[in-house]
Amino acid sequence: FTNEPTGGTVTLGFNVPQSGPYADEGADELRAYELAVEHLNGEGDGGMLNTFSSKALGGNGIMGKKVAYVTGDTQTKSDAARASAKSMIEKDGAIMITGGSSSGVAVAVQGLCQEAGVIFMAGLTHSNDTTGKDKKANGFRHFFNAYMSAAALAPVLEKLYGSDRAAYHLTADYTWGWTQQESIQAATEAIGWRTVNNVLTPLAATDFSSYIAPVLNSGADVLVLNHYGGNMVNSLTNAVQFGLREKQVNGKNFEIVVPLYSELMAKGAGQNIKGIVGSQNWDWKLGDEGTAAFVKSFGTKYGFPPSQAAQTCYAQTMLYADAVERAGSFNPCAVGEALAGFEFDGLGNGKTLYRADDHQCFKDVLVVKGAEDPQDEFHLVEIVEVTPVAQVTYDPEHPMFAGGALGECNPGA
C-alpha cells in the first residue's frame, strides 16, 4: 500500500492553513498535532492517552515506530491544500493526512487521499457534505456538522426565545453556508418558527450593512447569521452597530443567532458576541476527564487553553494511531475498518461513535453563548447546554446527506 513505513519512523502529514484568514486556527491545530505526536512518542504527560477508553497505545509511537511529521500550508484553497498534501504523500512519504479548517479544503483533500490511497482525518470541517454527498471511504470526520448544530440548537432556542418567532437568515453564498442554512431552517421550523427570508451574501463581502439594514423592517425578530470566520465577525459587528440587539420587534426582543461558533470568532467579535447563542463541537470548559487532561497538557505547554479546532485535530491523531495499533497494520483499509463503527470515550464529549455508514463521529454537541462578563479572555464563551448525542443523531440516508457513497477503501499502490 502507499507509503508503507519501512524504517523506524512513521510520517504523518499535518496540512493546516498557515496563511490567509484562518492562519491562527491553523497554528492552534498545529500545536495540538505537535502535542499529540509528543504524547504518542511517550514524551510529556501523555494527555488524553491516559483517559482514552482504548488502551492499545503505549506511548512508544505507533506499532513501535516513532512518529515523525511534516507540515504544510493549505492557504485555505482547495488547490494549494491538495498540492501540499500531494507533496507530503509523494515527497515525504506521509501515510496519513490530517488538518484543515474549511469544508471546501476538507472535501478536496479527502478526495485526493482517496485516490492516493492514504487515510484522511479531517480537521475542522462543518459542512454536511464532508460526510454526506462527498464522503469517502478513506476519509473520517471527528468534528460535528451543520445538521448536528441545528439539531442541538433548536430546543435551546425554543426554550430561550419561544416557539413563535420569525427568522431572517443571512447566508454565506457557498456550499457550507447553504448546508448550514438548510439545516437550521429545517430545525427551527420544526419548533414552529417562521422563516421570513434567506439572503445569500457574497463570500468576499466585508461590509454587510446593506444586508442588515432591511432586517428590522422585514417583520423578523431573529437574525440567523450562517457565516463563519471573518464573515461572521463582520456581519455580527455590523448587526450590533445597527442597534438590532436593542430593538423590539413584534413585542419581543430582537435576537441574533450564530449557529457555528469558535473561540477565535468570539475574540474577533469582542463585545458584540455577548449573549449570542450558537453551537460548538467542544469547549475546554467541559468538565470531563479527557478534556481536563488535554487542557492541562496543552495549557502547560503553550500557556493558554486549546480551541475546538485543536481538540478535534488532537483527537483525530489519537484515533488514527489507536486504529493502527488495533488493526495491527498501517494499511489504510485495515485502519479504516478499525475506525469504522469504533466506539470510544475519554477524548472529550463523552461516549462517541465513529459511524461506519458515513465515517462521521457522533457525540454530544455543545450549545454555547457569549459570556456577559468574562473573567478573562479565555472565558468569552460559556456553555449553555450539552446536547446529548441521541438528539443529534440522524439517519445515514437523511436527505441532507444523500447523494454520495463511501465507495471502496483504497490502499493505493
100, 139, 268, 290: residue in contact with other proteins (rule CB under 8 A):
268
Among the listed residues 12, 32, 269, 293, the single contact to other proteins using CB under 8 A: 269
Q: Residue 50 or residue 218: which is nearer to other proteins going by CB?
A: 218
Q: How far is the CB of 216 from other proteins (least distance, A)?
A: 4
Using CB atoms within 10 A of its CB, is residue 225 exposed (0-12), middle (13-18) or buried (19+)? buried
> Which helix (H) or strand (E) element contains residue 72?
strand 66-73
Interaction of residue 405 with other proteins, rule CB under 8 A = yes
115 binds other proteins (CB under 8 A): yes
Alpha-carbon dihedral angle through residues 227, 229, 233, 238, given to the nearest 10 degrees: -40
Candidate ranges 53-61, 237-245, 383-391, 393-401; the one touching other proteins (CB under 8 A): 237-245
- Which segment (146-154, 291-299, 315-323, 337-345) binds other proteins by CB under 8 A? 291-299
Pairing label, strands 361-362, 352-354 = antiparallel
Residue 71 binding other proteins, by CB under 8 A: yes
Ranges within 27-46 binding other proteins (CB under 8 A): 27, 30, 34
- In this chain, which of 46, 111, 155, 350 binds other proteins, going by CB under 8 A? 111
276: its cell numbers: 449570542
What is the per-residue binding string for other proteins in 3-22, x denoting contact by CB under 8 A? ---------------xxxxx
Distance in Å, CB of 206 to other proteins, minimum: 5
Residues 6+ apart with CB under 8 A from 373: none
Return the residue matching grid coordinates 507533496.
87
Contact flags string 319-348 toward other proteins, x per CB under 8 A: ------------------------------
Cell numbers for 175, please give them: 456550499
Closer CB to other proteins, 189 or 405, in the complex = 405
Distance CA 314, CA 319 (A): 9
Return the number of the residue (211 or 282) whose C-beta is nearest other proteins: 211
Q: Does residue number 407 form part of the binding site for other proteins (CB under 8 A)?
A: yes
211 binds other proteins (CB under 8 A): yes
Question: Contact with other proteins (CB under 8 A): which of 24, 288, 337, 357?
Answer: 24
Hey, which residues between 160 and 199 contact other proteins (CB under 8 A)? 173-176, 197, 199
Is 203 a residue that touches other proteins (CB under 8 A)?
A: yes
Q: Which of 8, 162, 192, 202 binds other proteins (CB under 8 A)?
A: 202
H/E stretch holding 232: helix 229-241
The vertex-319 CA angle with 16 and 309, nearest 5°, equals 35
DSSP state of 307: P
Distance in Å, CB of 105 to other proteins, minimum: 9
Q: Report which of 309, 85, 103, 277 is spatially closest to residue 203, judged by C-alpha positions.
A: 103
Largest interatomic CA distance in the chain:
70
Residue 399's φ and ψ, nearest 5 degrees, are -55, -30
The β-bridge partners of 73 are 16
Binding segment for other proteins among 50-58, 220-228, 313-321, 373-381 (CB under 8 A)? 373-381
Number of residues that bind other proteins (CB under 8 A): 96
State the Cα torsion 296-298-304-308 to the nearest 10°.
-100
In angstroms, what is the minimal distance from the CB of 292 to other proteins? Answer: 10
* Residue 296 binding other proteins, by CB under 8 A: yes
Per-residue binding string, other proteins, 213-232, x by CB under 8 A, is xx-xx------------x--
121 part of the interface to other proteins, by CB under 8 A: no
DSSP 326: H
Under 8 Å between Cβ of 271 and 239: no
Q: Provide, for the chain, the percentages of residues in helix, strand and coil under a 3-state DSSP scheme, each rounded to the nearest 5.
A: 40, 20, 35
For the bound state, the minimum distance from the C-beta of residue 388 to other proteins, rounded and expressed in Å, comes to 25
- Element housing 395 (H / E): none
